Amino acid sequence: MELSAINDEQVEMLISDLLEQYGYDFTGYSRASLKRRISRLYSLDKALSFAEFRYRIYSDQAYFKRFVEQITVNVTEMFRDPVFFKTLRDVVLPKLGTYPFIRIWLAGCSTGEEAYSISIILKELNLLHKSLIYATDLNPAVLEKAAHGMFAMSQMKQYSENYILSGGTQDFSTYYTANYSLAKFDEELKQKIIFSTHNLVSDHSFNEFQLILCRNVLIYFERELQHNVLDLFDESLEDLGYLALGTKETVDFSRIANRYKRLPGHKIWRKVGHENM
Amino acid sequence: MKTCEAFIIGGSAGSLEVLLRVLSEVRSDLSFPIIIVVHRKHGADSLLPNLLASRTSLIVKEVDEKEKINAGTVYVAPSDYHLLIEQDRTFSLDYSEKINYSRPAIDATFQTAAEVYKKKLVCLLLSGSNADGVNGLKSVKAWGGQAVIQDPASAQVAYMPAQAKLHVEIDRILGIEDIAEFINLLSNQSYHE
Ligand SMILES: C[S@@+](CC[C@H](N)C(=O)[O-])C[C@H]1O[C@@H](n2cnc3c(N)ncnc32)[C@H](O)[C@@H]1O
């Protein structure tokens, strides 16, 4: 791919088509990644011309779904960044454990690996019974996969290592049963997870949470959209609740920054309210 | 005649020593940014920028997402994200699939930079043991930029620059001792094609 299959103007045309025809708003997304993903799909699906590609997205609902699935990045892992999960286990969740009920929002959960990871930690901390994880994503297809709770067997060695590095002490393999090339995670782990679609760009706050996690989603948004989404999280987070972002993401420079206090060294912020700081 | 707006270095196995040497010899008033994408292990994030910073008086920093790209600064791609360049000369990060078994992939940065800086881009590929960067250099050439490689004969692991030499029309092949001077001469002046 020396020259992209799709140029900048064509990206803009597709973005405005999506908004006009389907109400999906990608105007606030960073363009470099979108352009790469769209070009990739264009080549993958052997589109004959841009006009044909565009028409197909515009007129064929099923293809539009595929398009949205393919231009967003759904890569994820269990216990990715083990140190982050160790902080959840050692600091954040025990704090929240003093509440009668723990509501967690995992935004941009993709195929669910993070949701199951959190569920495992909650179970080990004996908090799962009084927790509820709302795991949301823009893509219905990844949520469907998440609800199955089956992940590639070939990943389990890596996930098990991550799990141990994150402070896990059990035998990781007790959480799933091997089924040919897939590891099926225990039903118990997903009993407290609600998978549901939610678009961070256009949907509103739907509950109040003590912990909101949104990792590696904001990197795909331009600054302004990032700030809007952080406002949405702020609206949806109780006082003294925690907000967790990806390794390279931050609340600094946003409108909510002065109400949040960072856990030193971690991408986790605590909502300390208006008067403080 | 054209000026250099960004200088990007891609490297893998065997490239660290070259980078250290080059940075220690690069002038401190560079008129463009140096962007470094090297394959490294996930985790020890601040180590590489700190090590590089110890060799130069230029500002060396790991890239923050959405950060504006400034001249005279050395940027290091964070581990485990692809580093992309936006049309408005900012960085963005991407956690998509590995490319050539690598994240960051040199190809992703070279390719997105090629479309942004076009003729004003110079990309250098150093020592390494896989072919990451080769497709990126092709894009750089397609958009009118310059493709430069470390002389495979001088590379600890020749494969990466050798593959580039095989598949891309290379503008310059540089020995380790000539790289810094090449960069210094690009600074603050137009150069001939
Ligand atoms: C790279 S994945 C991150 C997965 C996981 N949180 C992690 O860090 O491993 C990004 C996810 O964000 C989702 N996403 C992108 N735009 C979104 C939006 N506007 N609303 C909700 N989810 C979105 C994508 O569908 C994708 O599943």
Tell me the domains of chain B and their CATH numbers: 6-192 (3.40.50.180)
Q: What was the pLDDT predicted at A16? A: 97
Q: What is the mean pLDDT of residues B128-146?
A: 97
Please state at what angle helix B134-142 crosses helix B106-117, rounded to 10 degrees: 10
**CA–CA separation, A91 vs A245, rounded Å?**
16
Asked whether residue A130 falls in the same domain as residue A200, the answer is yes
Answer yes or no: is the C-beta of A241 below 6 A from any ligand 1 atom. no
Mark whether A48 and A94 lie in a shared domain. Answer: no
With CB atoms and an 8 Å threshold, state whether A75 touches B95. Answer: yes
Task: Answer yes or no: do A153 and A64 share one domain.
Answer: no
Closest CA to B113 of B3, B2, B7, B185: B7
pTM over 0.80: yes
- Label residues A102-114 b or e (16+ Cβ within 10 Å = b): bbbbbbbbbbbbb
One domain, residues A110 and A188: yes
Q: Could you say which of A47, A71, A95 is where a domain stops?
A: A71
Amino acid A47 reads: A
Q: ipTM score here?
A: 0.93
Alpha-carbon span A80 to A167, nearest angstrom: 13
The answer as to whether A182 is a domain residue is: yes
B12 is a catalytic site residue:
yes
pLDDT digit string, tens, across residues B35-69: 999 998 766 567 899 999 999 999 999 999 999 99
pLDDT band at B193 (very low <50, low <70, confident <90, very high): very low
Is B96 catalytic? The answer is no
pLDDT the model gives residue A104: 98
User: Which residue stretches of chain A have pLDDT < 50?
Assistant: 276-277
CATH number for the domain that contains residue A155: 3.40.50.150
Does residue A3 fall inside a structural domain? no
Choosing from A52, A71, A90, the residue where a domain stops is: A71
**Which residues does A contribute to its contact with B (CB < 8 Å)?**
1-4, 8, 30-33, 36-37, 73, 75, 216, 219-220, 222-223, 226, 246-250
Q: Give me the torsion for CA of A88, A89, A90, A92, rounded to 10°.
A: 40
Closest CA to A69 of A139, A135, A17, A12: A139
Query: How sure is the predictor about B100, in pLDDT bands with cuts at 50, 70 and 90?
Result: very high
Nearest to A248 among B65, B86, B115 (CB): B65
Indicate whether A176 and A242 sit together in one domain.
yes
State which ligand 1 atom lies nearest to the alpha carbon of A109. Answer: 6
Q: Which of A219, A221, A267 to mutate to test the interface with B (most CBs of B within 10 A)?
A: A219
Residue pair B63/B93 in contact by the 8 Å Cβ criterion: yes
- Determine, yes or no, domain membership for A76: no
Q: Is B139 within 8 Å of A1 when comparing Cβ atoms? A: yes
Query: Does one domain contain both A144 and A252?
Result: yes
| B184 min Cα distance to partner chain A (Å) | 28
Same domain, A56 and A133: no
- When pLDDT is cut at 50, 70 and 90, the band that residue B107 belongs to is very high
User: Does residue A131 lie within any of the structural domains?
Assistant: yes
SS3 A215: coil
Rounded CA gap, A5 and A7, in Å?
7
Q: Which domain holds residue A268?
A: 82-276
Q: Is B15 a catalytic residue?
A: no
pLDDT of residue A276: 47
pLDDT over threshold 60, residue B31: yes
- Contact: B97, A75; criterion CB under 8 Å: yes
Residue A93 in any domain: the answer is: yes
* Boundary residue ending a domain (A35, A50, A71): A71
How many CB pairs below 8 Å do chains A and B form together?
66
Q: Does any domain span residue A77? A: no
Q: How far is CA A37 from the centre of its chain?
A: 18
**Rounded distance, CA A99 to CA A86, Å?**
20
CA B104 – ligand 1 centroid, Å? 19
In angstroms, what is the span from residue A194 Cα to ligand 1's centroid? 16
Is A23 a member of any domain? yes
Task: Specify the residue for token string 């760009």.
Answer: A201
Give nearest CA residue, ligand 1 atom 17: A138
pLDDT in the model for residue B40 = 82
Do both A104 and A37 map to the same domain?
no
Options B79, B102, B127, B132, the catalytic residue: B132
Gap from B137 CA to chain A (nearest CA, Å): 8
Instruction: Concatenate the DSSP letters of all residues of chain B into one string.
Output: -B---EEEEEE-TT-HHHHHHHHHHS-TT-SS-EEEEE---SS-TTHHHHHHHTT-SSEEEEPPTTPBP-TTEEEEPPTTSEEEE-TTSBEEEE----BTTBSS-HHHHHHHHHHHHGGGEEEEE-S-SS-TTHHHHHHHHHTT-EEEEE-GGG-SS-HHHHHHHHHS--SEEE-HHHHHHHHHHHTTS-B--
**A191: Cβ contacts below 8 Å, ≥ 6 apart:** none
For B108, name the nearest residue in chain A, comparing CA atoms only. Answer: A36
A43 and A116 belong to one structural domain: no
Are residues A181 and A256 both part of a single domain? Answer: yes
Ligand 1 center to residue A142 CA distance, Å? Answer: 10
Total domains in the fold of chain A: 2
> What does the pLDDT read at residue B47?
87
The answer on A63 and A156 residing in a single domain is: no
Among B68, B69, B94, which would you mutate to test the A interface (most chain A Cβ atoms within 10 Å of its Cβ)? B94
Shared domain for A141 and A122, answered yes or no, is yes
